[in-house]
Amino acid sequence: MSIEFANESGFDVDEAEVVAVAAFAIAAMDVHPGAELNMLAVDLDTMADLHVKWMDLPGPTDVMSFPMDELTPGGRPDMADAGPATLGDIVLCPQFAAEQATAAGHSTGHELNVLTVHGVLHLLGFDHAEPDEEREMFALQDSILAEYYAQQRDQERRARQSARDEKLLGRTGFLGRRD
């Protein structure tokens, strides 16, 4: 999977985290591992320009998605492998996200993760224009994020345990002999 990220926003973004969340969401949706995604973080003015140009709506927004190749998550078991494809582009506005995060009472990092998964789902054809679509998309978004955070917690727990084991083995040597 190839994910390119460019930060032109002037805002501090944990690029590794955003890319990891995007990769997790793409894998969770059973998209071909060779898929390509481009991500861009922009400032408020740039996002406002994009929002007007592509959505005909005034002012900036938090995330915009621009699909490239038409993909169906998971596909059918009897279909030939579609192979790698370009999912498209996700444009994030970290400053807008920071304001939303403050209003929601969570971190900007979490808000960017939410918006990243949201953007991936839009690239895969999900929408929230109708109430049923909104319920489906947001439930899926929440589920993917919950799985991502559970995986992160598990990896952190394993790393802590490994560090404790290393420290213990370092003190006593292999098989409990003193060095």
CA neighbor of 87 nearest in space, from 39, 54, 41: 39
Confidence at 77, pLDDT banded by 50, 70, 90: low
pLDDT, tens digit, 9 for 90 and up, residues 10-41? 999 999 999 999 999 999 999 988 899 999 99
pLDDT at 174: 56
pLDDT at 65: 97
Specify burial of residue 80 (Cβ count, 10 A radius: 0-12, 13-18, 19+). Answer: exposed
pLDDT, tens digit, 9 for 90 and up, residues 49-70? 999 999 999 999 999 999 986 5
For the segment 151-168, the average pLDDT, to the nearest whole number, is: 91
Q: Is the sign of the CA dihedral 147, 39, 99, 96 positive or negative?
A: negative
pLDDT, tens digit, 9 for 90 and up, residues 84-136? 678 999 999 999 999 999 999 999 999 999 999 999 999 999 999 999 999 99
Give the annotated binding-site residues.
118, 122, 128
Asked if pLDDT for residue 48 goes beyond 90, the answer is: yes
Give the annotated binding-site residues for Zn(2+).
118, 122, 128
3-state secondary structure of 141: helix
Asked if pLDDT for residue 170 goes beyond 80, the answer is: no
Q: Is the sign of the CA dihedral 116, 117, 121, 126 positive or negative?
A: negative
Domain 2-69+84-172, second-level architecture: 3-Layer(aba) Sandwich (3.40)
